[in-house]
Amino acid sequence: MIEFGTPVFWVALLQIIGADIVLSGDNAVVIALATRSLPSHQQRRAIFWGTFAAVAMRVSLTVVAVTLLKLPALKLIGSMLLLWIAVQLLLPEEESVGEGMAVGSMGAAIRTILIADVVMSMDNVIAIAAVAKGSLPLLVFGLALSIPLVVFTSTFLLKIMERYPIIITLGAALLGYVAGEMALSDPLAAPWIEANVAWLHSVAPAAGAIFVVAVGKLLAARAEAGEEQRPLVEVGVAPETSVTGDTSMHKLLLPVDGSDASLRAVDRLSILRDCYREPPEIYLLNVQHILHKDVGQFISVEAMNAYYHDEGIKELAAARARLDRAGIPYQHHVVIGDLAAATIAHFAREHGIGQILMCTHGRSAVADLVLGSVARGVLQHTDVPVTLVR
């Protein structure tokens, strides 16, 4: 049993918070989607009671999972399941179908939040039960800290994880490490391991982490190749400032994610535009991350498309305002894709783009390699000339 306040306790607490963050982002988005059509006063109440019920249910399920994991062989099974969950974390999301019904009342919103959280949190429950190692105080303390963080900062956390893919990789490696530890502590296997292969205690956790990252990256590379062949899904295309539509014009693509760095590319465009013999046709592009496929079981396709559109328009707003002030005509597009770099390259091919102008985040080449860079990914996926702005 892990004692409160010990170094082991604090390490496990950080592991619980980390696992909860990387596995729970879309759960919190469901809360926003389920309540978006309600009046504002009902939204707050539905969010409170829906979240309260979901948290209570999740804690109860996790306590049950902790108890079950004390039974022989279940930790071995759980560790295999946790490895699968970790590998899935590194794969591109499949597009949500959107089969859920529209939510029209506060009661329906609360019910949607509760059921969706139960269905979508099973991977989360297994992971946290494994990290807690049978310590209920650690379990309750960790969930009490992490759940509000996920609920109230979900959109921010999702954007951070999109921008820095290393967070997802580290989260998957953490789950693989925990899976390795979990298998060794199974009541059925632990005595034999201690007597015959005790050295596995120093090898298995790291091997689990390495296995997850290696297999996940391999499968992700294959999935990424298929992603480039799928038709683009575009939502809410309504350019307010029209362009000429002349197919002979040079087409310039400007991906925008709402960050200050992407606005630097917009400012550079205002300078470079005068250098062209003829002003190019400007395409502003925002890529929205695909929500978890399970979201579509509870939320209608109309609600999801409205969410994608609204988030995309918010992230395009500052760039559009700058171009409007400069009197530069453009089209704006919001597309859905799990891999931003591949989606940008795909859009460029489909629209006959002649040049891509985009920002880097001002990091060094080493930092881009370690943290991941959309700009570097675009360079790998397209043969269209790319101009990078720091």
Residues 245 and 220 in one domain: no
Query: Measuring CA to CA, which residue among 355, 350, 343, 341 is closest to residue 383?
Result: 355
Rounded to an integer, what distance in angstroms lies between the CA atom of residue 253 and that of residue 345? Answer: 10
pLDDT for position 50 = 75
| In a domain? residue 304 | yes
| 206, 331: one domain | no
Counting residues of the chain whose pLDDT is more than 70, the rounded percentage is: 77
Ranked by mean pLDDT, the top range of 59-73, 97-111, 169-183 is 169-183
- The answer to whether position 216 is within a domain reads yes
Select from 225, 248, 280 the last residue of a domain.
225
| Predicted confidence (pLDDT) per residue in 242-267, tens digit | 444 455 568 999 999 888 888 888 88
Residues 304 and 350 in one domain: yes
Instruction: Report the percent of the chain where pLDDT is more than 90.
Output: 12
In-domain check, residue 100: yes
pLDDT at residue 151 above 80?
A: no
Query: Could you count the other beta carbons within 10 Å of the beta carbon of residue 188?
Result: 12
In a domain, 2, yes or no: no
The pairing of strands 355-359 and 281-288 is unpaired
Listed in sequence order, the residues at least 6 apart from 238 whose beta carbon sits closer than 8 Å to its beta carbon are none
Asked if residue 1 is part of any domain, the answer here is: no
C-alpha neighbours within 13 Å on the C-beta side of residue 306:
12
The answer to whether the CB of 316 falls within 8 A of the CB of 235 is no
Q: State residue 25's pLDDT score.
A: 62
152 and 258 housed in the same domain = no
| 14 belongs to a structural domain | yes
Q: Which one is predicted more confidently, 152 or 142? A: 142
Which residue from 308, 306, 266 is spatially nearest to 289, judged by alpha carbons?
A: 308
Q: Do both 194 and 297 map to the same domain? A: no
Least Cα distance to 254 among 140, 358, 359, 108 occurs for: 358
Q: What's the whole-number average pLDDT of the chain?
A: 78
pLDDT of residue 217: 86
Phi (first) and psi of residue 186, to 5 degrees? -65, 135
pLDDT (tens digit, 9 = 90+) per residue, 332-347? 999 988 778 888 999 9
Do residues 103 and 35 make contact, with C-beta atoms less than 8 angstroms apart? yes
The pair phi, psi for residue 336, each rounded to 5°, is -105, 130
User: Of 145-149, 158-162, 211-215, where does the model show the most confidence?
Assistant: 211-215
Mean pLDDT of 99-120: 66
Of the residues 181, 198, 225, the one at which a domain ends: 225
Q: Is residue 322 included in any domain, yes or no?
A: yes
Average pLDDT over residues 211-233: 77
- For position 327, which CATH number holds? 3.40.50.620
Q: How many CB atoms lie within 10 A of CB 60?
A: 12
Quote the number of domains for the chain. 2
- Per the structure block, which two tokens stand in for 4? 């409160």
* Residue-wise pLDDT tens digits, 16-49: 877 777 776 666 677 777 776 677 777 777 777 7
Partners of residue 145 on adjacent β-strands: none
- State pLDDT tens for residues 347-389: 998 899 999 998 876 544 544 544 456 888 888 888 889 888 8
pLDDT of residue 21: 73
Pair 139, 57: CB distance under 8 Å: no
Q: Which residues contact 156 (CB under 8 A, 6 or more apart)?
A: none
| Domain end point (choices 196, 225, 254) | 225
pLDDT of residue 104: 56
248 and 310 both lie in a single domain: yes
Q: How far is 141 from 148, CA to CA, in rounded Å?
A: 12
Model pLDDT, residue 242: 43
Question: What's residue 244's pLDDT?
Answer: 47
Residue 225 banded pLDDT, cuts 50, 70, 90 = low
Whether 262 and 218 share a structural domain = no
Report the pLDDT averaged over residues 169-184: 88
The residue type at 270: S
Q: Is the domain of 21 the same as that of 166? A: yes
Q: What is the pLDDT of residue 24?
A: 67
pLDDT at position 5: 67
181 and 122 housed in the same domain: yes
Q: Which domain holds residue 300?
A: 233-389
pLDDT at 80 over 80: yes
Residue carrying structure tokens 């489909």: 350
Same domain, 165 and 245: no
- Same domain membership, residue 242 and residue 104: no
**Residue 318 pLDDT greater than 70, yes or no:** yes
Q: Is residue 45 part of a domain?
A: yes
Is residue 29 classed exposed, middle or buried when 0-12, 13-18 and 19+ CB atoms within 10 A define those classes?
A: buried
Residues 382 and 351 in one domain: yes
